[in-house]
Amino acid sequence: MEAASLEITLRTAACSERGGRPRNEDSCAYAASGRRGAWIVADGLGGMAGGDLASGFAAEYIKARAAELEDFGEASLLRLLAEANRALADEQRRRKMERGMRTTVVAAFADCGAFSSVHLGDSRLYYFRGGEILHQSRDHSMSQAAVDLGEIAPQDIRFHEDRSRVLRVLGNDGDPRVDTPIFTESIKPGDAFLLCSDGFWEPIFEHEMTACLKRAGDPQGWLDAMLDILRGRQTDSSDNYTAVCCMAGGGQMQRGGLFLDSGTGPE
C-alpha cells in the first residue's frame, strides 16, 4: 500500500477600502488553480495622478501573467516584475500620463507546496509559522533607510516623518531593482501569510497580527479581527488599506500536494 502523505489546502480572504481618503488607490488580486496560485497587493502612489490606475493595472497584469509562467523561481519572478514595469510604462504613454502612474507591489506565489515572494516599496509580506512571524519583507522606504543608518529603531518606522516616501516602485524607467535572493519557503500545515499595504500594517502592530492569527479559525476570521483593530484607530484622514490573508491547512491523503481554494480574487 502506498504510504499516506500530507495534503495542504490554502484558503484566502481579502479586503481593500479607501479609509478616510476620497478614493482608494490600493488594489489586490489573487487567483488559484489546481496546485498553483498568485496573490498581489499594490498601493498607487498617493498624491500623484493615476495611482489607482497604476495599482489596478499592476495587480491584474501580474495575476494574469503568473498563470502563464512555467515556474515561480527567482529568475522567472524577476522577469515578471520587469515585464510588469514595462507594461505599466506603456500604459502611461497610452494614457499620456508619463510619470503619473506608479505603484508599490508585493506578490506571493505557490506551486505544489513551494512558496516565493517579491516586492517593491513598502507594501509588505508577513509569513507565519507556529503562530509567529517567520519572515517579514524589508521596506524600500526612507524610514527603513533611517533604521539601516541607526537613526531610528525598527518599531519606530510607523511614526517616522518620512514613512510615506518609498524608494522603489513599478512605473519608473529601467528594470526594477528587486532584492535577491527572493524569499522562498516550503509551505507546511498551519503556515499563514499576509500581504498588505502600509495603510493596513501601520495601525496594526506585529504582535497584534500574531495574536489575531492564533485566535482565528480561518482567514476571514483572522482578517476580521485585524480589521476591528484597524477601524478602531482610524481617523478622518486615514490611508487606504488593503490586505490579503492566506492560511494553510492539512490532512492525510494518498498522494501529497498543494490544493488551493478556487477563488479568483475580490470582485
Q: All 3 cell numbers of residue 92?
A: 502611461
What is the rounded CA–CA span in Å between residue 18 and residue 241? 6
Please check whether residue 265 lies inside any domain of the structure: no
- Sheet order of strands, 124-129 included: 132-136, 124-129, 192-196, 241-253, 5-17, 257-260
Please check whether residue 267 lies inside any domain of the structure: no
Please check whether residue 188 lies inside any domain of the structure: yes
Number of domains in the chain: 1
Please check whether residue 197 lies inside any domain of the structure: yes
Q: Residue 74 belongs to what domain range?
A: 5-260
Count of CB atoms within 10 A of residue 186's CB? 9
pTM for this entry: 0.91
Please check whether residue 256 lies inside any domain of the structure: yes
CATH of the domain at 101: 3.60.40.10
Please check whether residue 113 lies inside any domain of the structure: yes
Q: What is the DSSP pairing of strand 114-120 with strand 103-111?
A: antiparallel
Q: Which residues contact 122 (CB under 8 A, 6 or more apart)?
A: 43, 104, 139, 140, 141, 144, 163, 166, 198
- For each of the chain's 267 residues, which pLDDT tens digit applies? 233 334 678 999 999 999 999 999 999 999 987 789 999 999 999 666 789 999 999 999 999 999 999 999 999 999 999 999 999 999 988 888 766 789 999 999 999 899 999 999 999 999 999 999 999 999 999 999 998 889 988 888 888 887 778 999 999 888 999 999 999 999 999 999 999 999 999 999 999 999 999 999 999 999 999 999 999 999 998 999 999 999 998 644 333 455 566 455 664
Exposure on the CB side of residue 158, measured as CA atoms within 13 A? 11
Please check whether residue 137 lies inside any domain of the structure: yes
CB distance 115 to 187 below 8 Å: yes
Q: Please write down the long-range contacts of 86-89, taking CB distance under 8 Å and 24 or more positions apart.
A: 87/57, 87/61, 88/54, 88/57, 88/58, 88/61, 88/170, 88/171, 89/171, 89/173
Q: How far is CA 163 from CA 21, 28, 41, in A?
A: 18, 22, 18
CB distance 85 to 175 below 8 Å: yes
Please check whether residue 266 lies inside any domain of the structure: no
What is the rounded CA–CA span in Å between residue 136 and residue 133? 7
- Sheet order of strands, 183-186 included: 26-33, 36-44, 103-111, 114-120, 183-186
